[in-house]
Amino acid sequence: MAADLTIPNKTLREFARLVEEEAVNPWEGELKVGVDLGTANILVSVTDSAGCPVAGVSTPSCVVRDGIVVDYVGAIRTVRSMKARLEEKLGVRLTKAACAIPPGISPGNTKAIGNVVEAADFELTAIIDEPTAAATVLGIKEGAVVDVGGGTTGISVIRNGEVVLTADEPTGGTHMTLVLAGFHRTTTEEAECLKRDPAQESSVFPVIRPVVEKMASIVAGAIRGHQVETIYVVGGACCFKEFEGIFEKRIGIPTVKPAAPLLVTPLGIAMNA
Ligand SMILES: Nc1ncnc2c1ncn2[C@@H]1O[C@H](COP(=O)(O)OP(=O)(O)OP(=O)(O)O)[C@@H](O)[C@H]1O
Ligand SMILES: [Mg+2]
The reply to whether CATH 3.30.565.10 applies to domain 6-133+263-271 is no
What does the pLDDT read at residue 234?
98
Taking the CB of residue 257, how many other CB atoms lie within 10 A of it? Answer: 24
Considering only CA atoms, which residue is closest to atom 1 of ligand 1? 196
The pLDDT of residue 104: 82
Q: What is the pLDDT of residue 67?
A: 87
- The ranges assigned to domains in the chain are 6-133+263-271, 135-259
Query: Any alpha helices (H) in the chain, and if so which ranges?
Result: 6-20, 72-90, 107-119, 130-138, 173-184, 188-196, 201-223, 243-251, 264-271
For the CA of 201, the closest atom of ligand 1 is 3
How far is ligand 2, taken at its centre, from the CA of residue 130, in Å?
8
Distance in Å, CA 151 to ligand 1 centroid: 8
Residue 130 clears pLDDT 90, i.e. is over it: yes
27-75: per-residue pLDDT in tens?
A: 999 999 999 999 999 999 999 999 999 999 999 999 999 889 999 999 9
Looking at residue 11, its pLDDT comes to: 98
- The pLDDT value given to residue 45: 98
Q: What does DSSP assign to residue 198?
A: G
Side chain identity at 76, as an amino acid letter? I
The dihedral formed by the CA atoms of 180, 186, 192 and 194, expressed in degrees to the nearest 10: -80
Query: How far does the centroid of ligand 2 lie from the alpha carbon of residue 87, in Å?
Result: 24
Using the predicted structure, report yes or no on whether residue 108 has a pLDDT greater than 90.
Answer: yes
Write the pLDDT tens digit of every residue in 202-242: 999 999 999 999 999 999 999 999 999 999 999 999 999 99
Atom of ligand 1 nearest to the CA of 151: 26
Q: Which CATH number fits domain 135-259: 3.30.420.40, 3.75.10.10, 3.30.43.10, 3.40.190.10?
A: 3.30.420.40
Do 135-259 and 6-133+263-271 fall under one CATH topology?
yes
141 pLDDT higher than 90: yes
Ligand 1 atom with least separation from CA of 261:
18
The pLDDT mean for the chain works out to 96
pLDDT at 2 over 90: no
Q: Average the pLDDT over 16-35 and give the result.
A: 95
Taking CB atoms and a 6 Å cutoff, what residues make up the pocket around ligand 1? 38-41, 66, 149-152, 172-174, 192, 195-196, 235-237, 239, 262
